[in-house]
Amino acid sequence: MSGTSAKREIVAGAILGVATFAVYMVGSNRSFGYDAAATFANFIATPSIWDAFAVRSVIPTIPVTQVATNDHVLVSLLSHLIYSATGSRSEVLYRFLPALAAGATVGLSTGALVRRFGLLAGICAGLFIATDPLFVDNSRDLRGYSLAALGSVAGTLLLPIHGAISGRVSRVLDGLGPQVSAKPTEGLKQHVLPIHGEVSAKPTEGLKLVAYAVIMGLAMAAQLFVAVVLLCHVAWVVSERSWPRLRQLAPAWFVAALIGLGANAHIQVMEYTQHGLPPPVFYPTYPRDLVLFIIGAPVLLPVGLWLASAGLGLWTQRRAAWLWSSAAVIAVAVLVLWLGLKPAFLYPRFFIFLVPASAFLMAAAIKRWWVVAPVVLLGAVVAAVSQAPGYIQDPLALPAAAAAVEHIDASGRRACVIHSDEQVLSAYTSRFTVVTRPDELANCDAVVVVSWGVDLALRDQAAQEFPRLTTLPAYYPTVVLER
């Protein structure tokens, strides 16, 4: 690779990554969303850093088993360190890390795809990631999805698998060192794997294996479903029948699993042994929803444009062993969840690492047919415009609800919330009383309803007993009920 090419991919990745981070931070002072607020109240703004591992109930009326699956351990741990050092409850501060990870994911993916498929293809694919609604929504709040995506991309780039071209490690992989041109080596077996096109110099492979293991382990600590990516990596090597490479990578895979599963072990064991999970639920449309939300849903036009582009990219890679081995692993994972475990909470965002993977397919299509580029770009423009109206809107009216609660409390009256709402409102205030039964409403002067996750019958009873209603605006507005 020439020095000019290396500089081009670094500049393209850096510009798009920084721009993504900056745009994602717009409106970062809005209220936490439901999951982010529950995470902040239960695992971050607490006296002990061990709460980041969901080891105990922090809110007396909320059993830890009820909220433990909300815990993305790595982001909770890092955010708890910030909270312990600063005492700050600023939404901006705690959204910084997820947005930074999102920008790094876009930048790293763009640089790698520019190197593999050229400038136009790489930039278009990077814009797809940056504007995909699923990626945007889950990278702009206090969640671990963007860290999981970043770890998946970085781990894949660090995976030391030989390709068809010998040479030195590219700047995208190592970030330093001069680049040299290389000609294809005759007689060398070709391994066509995503992103890779060069061979690591042997002295660096040991360090790369360590970095790979740590990064993949931390990515699983951020979001456990990254284990599927690790299994894809195993499947790639198995599909190539490279047994020496399999033996070389096995310790790294073991260490990564040890880190990731170790971080989540307490949560998973507790949920299954203490029956903290809700009853199983079958979602008949989940496979369809997974595909559509990875490729642009709920915005209709980008779904059509991006799905067609990814399909063309799939065609260009149809002879690649890694593609079908990955598809098999992902299909098995989806089927086990969908038909086997049937978790009550099963969302497309759990597979957010498929967004950069889809970008790879789009870049491959653009490399083959440049006319696909404006199709991908049009999808990015439409997706960005469609998200603009609610971009800085509060998902919940939690700050206003907290202010209302504190005003009621300061006036000598009793503000109540219906059980379950305390797990999110506690991110902003604790000056309320929790009610779990209709007879407890008699002790309240006002009832504040902040979310949909409450006993609906009790909410309706409160609305009858407290007929004066004040609405606090948000995407899901808060209702203050008074006599």
Q: At residue 396, does pLDDT exceed 80?
A: yes
Given this model, what pLDDT does residue 274 score? Answer: 74
Q: Are 383 and 423 in a shared domain?
A: no
| Distance in angstroms (rounded) separating the CA atoms of residues 229 and 195 | 14
Q: At residue 166, does pLDDT exceed 50?
A: no
Q: Are 344 and 477 in a shared domain?
A: no
Q: Is residue 56 part of a domain?
A: no
What are the tens digits of pLDDT across the range 408-446?
999 999 999 999 999 999 999 999 999 999 999 999 999
What are the tens digits of pLDDT across the range 351-392?
999 999 999 999 999 999 999 999 999 999 999 999 999 999
- How would residue 1 be classed by pLDDT, with cut points 50, 70 and 90? low
* Of the residues 338, 354, 387, the one at which a domain ends: 387
Q: At residue 165, does pLDDT exceed 90?
A: no
- SS3 for the chain is CCHHHHHHHHHHHHHHHHHHHHHHCCCCCCCCCHHHHHHHHHHHCCCCHHHHHCCCCCCCCCCHHHHHHHCCHHHHHHHHHHHHHHCCCCHHHHHHHHHHHHHHHHHHHHHHHHHHHCHHHHHHHHHHHHHCHHHHHHHCCCCCHHHHHHHHHHHHHHCCCCCCECCCCCHHHHCCCCCCCCCECCCCCCCCCCCCCCCCCHHHHHHHHHHHHHHHHHHHHHCHHHHHHHHHHHHHHHHCCCHHHHHHHHHHHHHHHHHHHHHHHHHHHHHHHCCCCCCCCCCCCHHHHHHHHHCCCCCHHHHHHHHHHHHHHHHHCCCCHHHHHHHHHHHHHHHHHHHHHCCCCCCHHHHCCHHHHHHHHHHHHHHHCCCHHHHHHHHHHHHHHHHCCCCCCCCECHHHHHHHHHHHHHCCCCEEEECCCHHHHCCCCCCCEEECCHHHHHHCCEEEECCCCCCHHHHHHHHHHCCEEEEECCCECEEEEEC
Structural tokens at position 353: 């690492």
Nearest alpha-carbon partner for 387 in 206, 131, 202, 174: 131
Q: At residue 475, does pLDDT exceed 50?
A: yes
Q: Are 347 and 226 in a shared domain?
A: yes
Q: At residue 31, does pLDDT exceed 50?
A: yes
Given this model, what pLDDT does residue 202 score? Answer: 56
Instruction: With beta carbons less than 8 A apart as the criterion, state whether 223 and 147 touch.
Output: yes
| Distance in angstroms (rounded) separating the CA atoms of residues 1 and 167 | 9
Q: Are 136 and 160 in a shared domain?
A: yes
Q: Is residue 54 part of a domain?
A: no
Q: Is residue 51 part of a domain?
A: no
What are the tens digits of pLDDT across the range 178-207?
333 333 333 334 344 555 544 344 557 889
Instruction: With beta carbons less than 8 A apart as the criterion, state whether 103 and 330 touch.
Output: no
Q: Is residue 341 part of a domain?
A: yes
Structural tokens at position 448: 């504040």
Domain range for 299 is 3-29+90-387
Q: Are 236 and 307 in a shared domain?
A: yes
| Distance in angstroms (rounded) separating the CA atoms of residues 132 and 429 | 34
Q: Is residue 278 part of a domain?
A: yes
Instruction: Using DSSP bridges, classify how beta strands 478-482 and 433-435 pair: parallel, antiparallel or unpaired.
Output: unpaired
Q: Are 226 and 263 in a shared domain?
A: yes
Instruction: With beta carbons less than 8 A apart as the criterion, state whether 105 and 149 touch.
Output: yes
Q: Are 410 and 371 in a shared domain?
A: no
Computed over every residue of the chain, the mean pLDDT equals 91
Q: Is residue 374 part of a domain?
A: yes
Q: Are 145 and 172 in a shared domain?
A: yes
Given this model, what pLDDT does residue 177 score? Answer: 37
Greater confidence (74 vs 168) lies with 74
Nearest alpha-carbon partner for 79 in 49, 47, 35, 38: 49
CA-based torsion, 134, 138, 140, 145: positive or negative = negative
CA-based torsion, 437, 442, 444, 449: positive or negative = positive
Given this model, what pLDDT does residue 118 score? Answer: 96
Give the residue-averaged pLDDT of 81-109.
98
pTM of the shown model: 0.91
Q: Are 9 and 117 in a shared domain?
A: yes
What total of structural domains would you count in the chain? 2
* Of the residues 342, 358, 387, the one at which a domain ends: 387
| Distance in angstroms (rounded) separating the CA atoms of residues 434 and 448 | 10
Q: Is residue 377 part of a domain?
A: yes
What are the tens digits of pLDDT across the range 168-178?
333 333 333 33
Q: Are 184 and 256 in a shared domain?
A: yes
Q: Are 308 and 404 in a shared domain?
A: no
What are the tens digits of pLDDT across the range 221-271?
999 999 999 999 999 999 888 888 899 999 999 999 999 999 999 998 888
Q: Is residue 214 part of a domain?
A: yes
* Of the residues 338, 355, 387, the one at which a domain ends: 387
Q: Are 316 and 358 in a shared domain?
A: yes
The amino acid occupying position 280 is: P
